Amino acid sequence: MLNLTGKKALITGGSQGIGRVLAMELAKQGCEVVVNCAHHVENAENVVSEICAAGGKGSVFSCDVSDETAVNAGFKGLGRIDILINNARLDPWLRDKERSEGQWFSRVIDVNLKGAFLCSWAFLEQAKPLGWGRIVNMASVRSFRPAELNTIAYSVSKLGMHALTRAFAHNGAPFGITANTICPGMVLTENIDKRLSAEKKAEEEAAIPLGRAATSEEIADAVLFVLRNGYVTGETININGGMYYAP
């Protein structure tokens, strides 16, 4: 299993939730971490401050991942990146009421799926000459389960991540670049705490076969596995407490 010390990792949407925990964990493993987000840049700055206070190395990359020009320019400016974690997402429960159904669908696909595609493409080009690289795509158990009306775009965007993973695994393999999908169920994050009342959260957790949501650290553990093990590629790690098979 590979030691990650000295690797440089970019985490899209690394300013909060699972991305934040991933950023902290990779820094602990000795990676230099680039923390991306588009809107609340102060959150990304706080993550980087925490990393640096703990003796690690980090920087902020403020960029909307759906903006092709900004992503390409950003990658040029960042220099070498060894690890790309496509984690940014438009939260489906923070629906922008001004958009029509079609406009919302396009925006979710743009951020969640096209954003991961643009970053992976830019990453692949710069990682090929290095002869080593890792792409991790964050999907969701919702890519396999029937969606409610308000989360159709989200589920479709996350199902697309699996195809993206296989495509980049295939095209990256000759250059020592792996790509894998991490597919969580319910994960306890600050957003979930804001969105769900204590009662609703308890009800949703009770419906999970293992009786609880995951911690972000448990998700980070699965990410570390595919980063360290260079022989796993094009695969999906389902980490959902049994939600995948539950009725």
Residues in contact with ligand NAP by the rule CB under 6 A:
12-13, 15-19, 36-40, 43, 64-66, 87-91, 111, 115, 138, 140, 184, 186-187, 189, 191-192
| Catalytic residue from among 154, 231, 244, 245 | 154
Output 64 or 228, the one with its CB closest to ligand NAP: 64
> Is the CB of residue 189 less than 8 Å from the CB of residue 216?
yes
Output 169 or 182, the one with its CB closest to ligand NAP: 182
Angstrom distance (rounded) from CA 140 to CA 144: 8
Angstrom distance (rounded) from CA 120 to CA 130: 15
Angstrom distance (rounded) from CA 153 to CA 158: 9
Is 154 catalytic? The answer is yes
* Shortest distance, position 126 Cβ to ligand NAP, whole Å: 19
Output 15 or 29, the one with its CB closest to ligand NAP: 15
* Shortest distance, position 11 Cβ to ligand NAP, whole Å: 9
Strands 32-37 and 57-62: parallel
Tell me the residue nearest to ligand NAP as measured from the CB. 17
Active site residues: 154
